[in-house]
Every structure is written in structure tokens, then in C-alpha cells.
Amino acid sequence: MPPGLKSDALIEIDHVTFGYDASRTILNDVSLRFARGKVTAILGGSGCGKTTLLRLIGGVHAPNQGRIVFDGEEIDARNKEQLFRLRRRLGMLFQFGALFTDLSVFDNVAFPLREHSSLSEEMIRDIVLMKLNAVGLRGAARLRISEVSGGMARRIALARAIALDPELIMYDEPFAGLDPISMGVAANLIRKLNDTTGSTSLIVSHDVQECFMICDYAYLMSAGRIVAHGKPDELNASDNAEVRQFIRGEPDGPVPFHYPAPSLERDLGVRIGA
């Protein structure tokens, strides 16, 4: 690529293999590209490696093989100075919110601003109130976390994730545990925030229809590998058996229900059906 010319992808996952130990591979030679300014969904069942991808992008772990490139710069999980600088440019909505229960709603959203900036408290106050207003919770600023509902907590976590106006926002299961109304609100917020700020959004989820309503592109993962990718309408029209099974929620198909294990007879030490 010519010097000074940016790639159209903000994040590039290049032939990454990763496992927490030698006995189990979580990601197996995975390659993905996440376009700037777009909403990309990473879909798949529980345990397929979706959240692990986000951890690798955030530098929590280093890949065993391959590389992860953020805006043209390869991420080095051992380089604390680099990680601190790059993490300043990303926001993360954790799967269970990860709010500080001893802090108020206001102080939760203010936390990254106080940690990563030298802004005055007056400026922090204005930013926090604007972010809470964006998620419809400015009136809840002084409440304790114990005083808000699960859906409200998810929106507070979203306000905190966007407090620093990040270029990249990563959402780990943003729709889990939400009622249909809250789920729709969350989905619309993700799309609106992406389009308003020009950020790049990655959504890790197993909620197919909510993601297809708002994403520009989607990857489908299974057992640590990419089985399909494309625009929502392309995946809906796919004749791939794994894609059809996951999108339609079919109980029978190539994706097994049971985690790999020895036979039940062997584990129990008895012969079943004798």
C-alpha cells in the first residue's frame, strides 16, 4: 500500500490461531477485515471464539500465530505503552456491563474520561450528561447502579463505552438478557451512534435477526473458524447447511449440540441399553 494511504479496513485479523493452552484451539487460522465506519457482526454459537476475538483485538492476549492490525499498526500484547495508546481509541461494551457497583451512574460514565484525559471536571460533567442523554438516561445520572434495571445498566455501559468518542466500539453480546423493547432500543442506538460519530462497530452476538437489522456485514463462526461471511441478505439466501441451521435456529444439522467428549458408557463405566 502506498505510504500515507489508509486501508479501508480499520481492523485486520490475519491468519490468527489461538488457544489458551496446547490442548484446545479456540481460533483456527482465522482471517477477517472490519471496514471503517461500518457495523460488522460476528455471529456464532456459544464457545465458538467470538469473545476471544475481541480480547485479541484489545491486546488482552497475543495470538499463537498470525497477527492483528489496528489502523495499520500490528498489536503487540506485550507492549504496555502501545496498548494504552491504542485502547484510548476504542470503547468496549462488556457482556455483563462490568459497571462499578460502588459508583453512581454519573461516575461510571466519567471513569474513562478521568482515567484517559486531563479534562476539567466541568468539561467531564458536560460530556457525561451528553453521553447519558444519547442513551436516554440523563435523568438517572445520580442513581446508584443497584437502583437501575438490567436494561438501563446496559445503556449506562454503552454511554461509558462511547465517553471518549472512540474510533472503534466493540459490543460483546449487547442484546443478551434484554426484553424485546430494550433489545430494539439497544440495536437502534448502536446503529445511530455508528452513523452519527463515523465510528467502526463490531458486534459479537448470537441474536441473528437483531444483528441483521443493523449490520452492514456479518461473519459466521463455528468451532473457531469462519464458515461464511457476507451482507445480511446474502447470508439469508445461503444454501450452506451450517449457515441455514444457525440463522433458522434448527436443532438438527452439522453443528453438534454436545461438546466433544468420550462416550457416555465409557464415562459412566457401564453399558447403556444392555
What is the chain's mean pLDDT, rounded?
A: 84
pLDDT on residue 24: 81
Domain boundaries of the chain, sorted by first residue = 9-250
| Strands 168-172 and 200-205, bridge-based pairing | parallel
Transcribe 44-79 into DSSP letters.
--TTSSHHHHHHHHTTSS--SEEEEEETTEE--TT-
pLDDT on residue 95: 67
Q: Which residue has the cell 449457515?
A: 243
Of 133, 194, 126, 122, nearest in space to 165 by CA: 194
What lies within 8 Å, CB to CB, of 100 at 6+ separation is: 107, 108, 111, 145
Low-confidence ranges of the chain (pLDDT < 70): 1-6, 95-97, 249-260, 272-274
Task: Output the CATH code of domain 9-250.
Answer: 3.40.50.300
Amino acid identity, position 29: D
Decide: 163 and 135 in contact? Cβ < 8 Å: no
Please state, as a whole number, how many other Cβ atoms lie within 10 Å of the Cβ of residue 132: 23
Q: Which pTM was predicted?
A: 0.79
pLDDT on residue 258: 54
Task: Give the model confidence (pLDDT) of 222-266 as tens digits.
Answer: 888 888 899 999 988 888 777 787 777 666 555 555 566 777 777
Q: Rounded to the nearest 10 degrees, what angle do helices 150-161 and 121-134 cross at?
A: 130
